[in-house]
Homo-oligomer: A and B are copies of this chain.
């Protein structure tokens, strides 16, 4: 069931710390950001950050790639697009909400 997956992803970014974290990665683009940089930026314990990163990775929203001793984290854009699509898709099923300003019309 896709809804379960969507709920997990929404819950993942439904925490202020993780949303901030995810935002940072989304803005960073394909370059990504090392874990250490994220720790400095967010100012939280390394273990806490690791915990949150793990949750984002589990849902597929974030990926990691090793570069020597540092781990580069990246936002997974296709997954992000799917999630946004899922939400927008929900919209307008029966009512005109104007979310896309043209999709709603029959």
Contact = CB atoms under 8 A, between A and B. Distances in A.
Secondary structure at the A interface, as helix, strand, loop or mixed, is: helix
A11 B19 CA distance: 10
Query: Chain copies in the assembly?
Result: 2
A93 interface: yes
Interface residues of A, number: 38
B93 A27 contact: yes
Interface string A78-102: 0011011001101101110111000
Interface stretch (A2-10, A34-42, A46-54): A2-10
Given A84-B84, A87-B84, A90-B23, A95 B16 contact: no
A59 B27 CA distance: 25
A95 B23 contact: no
A80 B91 contact: yes
A7 B15 contact: yes
